[in-house]
Amino acid sequence: MYDVIIIGGGPAGITAGIYCQRANLKTIIFEKETIGGQIASSPLVENFPGCKSISGAQLATNFYEQADELGIPIEIEEVLEIIPGEKIKVITDFGEYESKVVILATGSKYRLLGLPNEIEYIGKGIAFCTSCDGAFFKGKDIAIIGGGNSAVTNAIYMSNIAKKIYLVDICDHLICEKTLEDKLRSLDNVEIIQQTGVKELLGDEELNGVILSNDRKLDIQGMFISIGMVAQTELVKDLVKLNKQNYVDSEDCKTNLDNIFVAGDCRSKNIRQLTTAVADGTTAAINAIKYIEDHK
């Protein structure tokens, strides 16, 4: 019987684990893929306080080592089912566990285009977050894929950093706010290419071009995919309340169930970054600790 089961070993889950373990609660973290979560695939992180410049893989290793030194077990198991109750039953691909509290920290994923080699080029030319990785494309030619608010905002942001930006959008009109569209259209170094998708990625070790569905070839050194995020909440869709975009509805990292808390990218919020994920991990853990104290 655990006090706290944390689902997800990304920044939010690891932070929650650190707080719960240091509060002397019997804690375990389940991670189905990569300890460290999404950030492990980032080539460089330069906006996390305390680490001026660090690879995502090294940051993930640091997260792991800190958790390990505190004695927090992190098991590579996928949680397949959660059965709620006073004692929550958690079923993984390896076994069954019980706990007083569960913290959901299952994160989100950037929506992909579905092209061959796409995953291999992530961190080698393909990126998602301009405020995280934009600086690595200074003076380069890049493409931004998408035509919504986030794609257009990314293109405007990158117009001050990259040399040339191609905004490639499958629709015949941009679906962003009018003021954003006006700003975008006023920029000299942005070319908008519409009613076109990407059909092929070119390159060896690193991405160096794309072929569009109209057969035009773009010589680019980077591509930001801005076609939305997908919440990793399939596991809890019949358990806790989700919002319209499938993120866990939450105020103060609480869900509609008393002993299930939520932290990080999988919950409803506006900004999904490392710092907001670790902030949520703290809040969810402190709420969980209080719940356990109150139910002794």
Ligand X SMILES: Cc1cc2nc3c(=O)[nH]c(=O)nc-3n(C[C@H](O)[C@H](O)[C@H](O)COP(=O)(O)OP(=O)(O)OC[C@H]3O[C@@H](n4cnc5c(N)ncnc54)[C@H](O)[C@@H]3O)c2cc1C
C-alpha to C-alpha distance for 134 and 162, rounded to whole angstroms? 8
By CB under 6 A, the residues from 131 to 150 that bind ligand X are 132
C-alpha to C-alpha distance for 5 and 288, rounded to whole angstroms? 10
Q: Does 10 participate in binding ligand X (rule CB under 6 A)?
A: yes
Q: Which of 3, 4, 6, 11 binds ligand X (CB under 6 A)?
A: 11
C-alpha to C-alpha distance for 20 and 293, rounded to whole angstroms? 12
**CB of 140: closest distance to ligand X in angstroms?**
17
144 DSSP β-pair partners? 167, 224
Would you mind telling me the total number of residues written for the chain in this entry?
296
Q: Does 37 participate in binding ligand X (rule CB under 6 A)?
A: yes
Q: Which of 20, 28, 45, 67 binds ligand X (CB under 6 A)?
A: 45
**CB of 202: closest distance to ligand X in angstroms?**
20
**Of 106, 149, 148, 151, which is closest to residue 128 (Cα–Cα)?**
151
Pick the piece of the chain touching ligand X (CB under 6 A) from 38-46, 135-143, 147-155, 241-249.
38-46
C-alpha to C-alpha distance for 59 and 167, rounded to whole angstroms? 32
DSSP structure class, residue 112: P
Q: Does 55 participate in binding ligand X (rule CB under 6 A)?
A: no
Nearer to ligand X, 34 or 149 (CB): 34
Name the token pair of 160. Answer: 């001050």
Question: Given the rule CB under 6 A, which residues bind ligand X?
Answer: 7-13, 30-34, 37-39, 41-42, 45, 47, 78-79, 105-108, 110, 122, 128-129, 132, 232, 235, 264-265, 272-275, 277
